[in-house]
Amino acid sequence: MKKIAAIMCATVALTSCNNKVADIDTQVNELYDRMSQEERIAQLKSCYMDDLFDENGVLDNAKCAEMIPNGIGHFSQYASQKPTDANVLRDRVAAMQEWLINNTPNGIPALFHEEVLSGINTRDATIYPQQIGQACSFNPELAELKTRQTATALRKMGGLLSLSPMVDVCRNPSFNRLEESYGEDGYLSAVMGTAFVRGLQQGDLKKGVGACSKHYLGYGGGGDADEKELMEEILLPHETMIRLEGSKALMPGYHAYKGTNCVANSEILQDILRDYLGFDGMVVSDYTAIDQIPGLESRAEKAAAAVNAGNDVDFPHGANYAYLQEAIDNGTVKPETLERAVKNVLRYKFLAGMFDKDPYLYSTETITLDSPEERQTAYDIASQSVVLLENNGILPLKDKKNILVTGPNANSMWAMCGDYSFPAMSYFWKKVTDDLDHPHVVKLLEGMESRKPDGVDISYSRGCDWTEDIETKYTVGGDERAWEYEILHRKVDSGEKADKAEALRMARNADVIIAAVGENVMLCGENRDRQGLRLPGKQEQFVKE
């Protein structure tokens, strides 16, 4: 009887789930039929929220009426454009959603998305350790807790979609975005990536924030692998996120698979993703990826190539999909192809509760970021991520009275801010150099001085800089917003003098020397290729001396 009861319960649950899906599909179909062609295409486009507000932060109704009269599907990286308080951001989202609901033909709210790889990419939000560090913890429970905290805060700010996690299985150790990944092991990447999605989505898109697995397929390495490796290892993290946790968004990489750019590759977007994995969510382009489809001159041609292959949404501006009607008129895009893409977006919005009677689009309570609980989680992840390569009895430090702390990362926050944290994104993409320490990042020297036992003397000299020359390799690839020469060819100013003679002199009187060496925001991350894996500049020589 117990077995029969269990089967009956499972049958009821499955029936309920099927009824829910059918109900949503019915609503999606009804809404689609009511929409004009201009409204439909608008759902596949995005823009930046700040472009619709005046210099005083007030929504400009005239601009809205001019730029988005038929609504808009998405808003790109809405929380990271300028250093802005979370409550101000939330209020702008509220104003924007209210305008869309009350001033567009069918009142369809927009999806606001943001990067959440190491916490919310916004001022004041907790900066969690990078993925490559967290992978060293082998702790999926902490990975889930981290993104549960992230989703709770982002949802209050009006964000319903993230462009994370990055689950490229990185087989190339010099890949410029390796730090965003969980490394070279497909199984570990799958376990940690699935935990990321579980915490972020919280089992219900009406409560959590949608995850987006990227960069599909093989961007970090393995895109040219044989079929067995590709299907069993490179695909594995995406597959587990979709099959086990119901991830509803996916982003193709900038690279090509079998000679065709992923954003316009029907083999991976249709044959593998839809037909094999059964993915029923929306596919969104990486920023400017559709622009980079080779061999096509017009935007209408590029839009057709992407949407025909299975890419639904054009980020960050919808610059190519603005020409979809032209592609439909000349017969290169079929009406049913447009229907598929639009309905994939609408379905996500229904799943996220955006059309409910009382949709939870943002919070009305005061938002406080970087809570003690979030800080503790970040600390726990960092503690469990530590990798001790060799000891030889040096640690723990006992009976050491004179300690010299030196090196370019000893008194800097950059070694602790991954390339998708708010300080790094602001510095690299926006060229913001001042007032980035929000929340405050405890530096190595600061932490040691605050915790040192009585009788211990800590001295400090920077000793050397990260590098004397520009080491970033200028390449055309990835987000074309970074192709600008001035973005890539910059050196980080530490604000300190690097005096090697002083450091060597102080070292003679030290019982132990702690050298903090490595990279900074300009030497690691998206579009930032270095010439090799050795320490930058003359750091290695400095350590030896």
Q: How confident is the model over 139-169, as pLDDT tens digits?
A: 999 999 999 999 999 999 999 999 999 999 9
Statement: residue 8 has pLDDT above 50:
no
H/E stretch holding 459: strand 457-461
Higher pLDDT: 408 or 489? It is: 408
Mean pLDDT of 512-525: 94
Mean pLDDT, all residues of the chain? 94
- 3 state SS of 252: strand
**189's tokens:** 């990447």
47 beta partners: 75
Q: What type of residue is 263?
A: V
Q: Which two tokens stand for residue 142?
A: 């902490």
- HEC string for 68-118: CCCCCCEECCCCCCCCCCHHHHHHHHHHHHHHHHHHCCCCCCCEEEECCEC
Mean pLDDT highest for which of 220-224, 363-367, 530-534?
363-367
Residue 241 confidence class, pLDDT cut points 50, 70, 90: very high
Q: Decide if pLDDT at 466 tops 90.
A: yes
Over 60: is that where the pLDDT of 506 sits? yes
Helix 236-245 vs helix 186-201: crossing angle, to nearest 10: 30
What's the order of all strands across the beta sheet hosting 111-114? 46-47, 74-75, 111-114, 161-162
CATH number for the domain whose boundaries are 28-351 = 3.20.20.300
One-letter amino acid at 249 equals A
Q: For the beta carbon of residue 342, count every other beta carbon within 10 angstroms.
A: 25
How does residue 19 score in pLDDT terms, banded at 50, 70 and 90? low
Q: What is the pTM of this model?
A: 0.94
- Residue 18 is predicted with a pLDDT of 60
In the chain, domain spans: 1-27, 28-351, 388-544
Residues paired with 158 in a beta bridge: none
Render pLDDT for 313-349 as a digit per residue (tens, 0 to 9). Answer: 999 999 999 999 999 999 999 999 999 999 999 999 9
Residue 321 exposed, middle or buried by CB count within 10 Å (0-12, 13-18, 19+)? buried
**Helix, strand, or coil (residue 123):** coil
Quote the pLDDT of residue 14: 45
The reported pLDDT for the residue numbered 527 is 86
pLDDT (tens digit, 9 = 90+) per residue, 243-269?
Answer: 999 999 999 999 999 999 999 999 999
CB atoms within 10 A of CB 501: 9
CA torsion sign for 521, 526, 528, 534 is positive
pLDDT at 426 over 90: yes
Cβ proximity of 117 and 180 under 8 Å: yes
Residue 13 has pLDDT above 50, yes or no: no
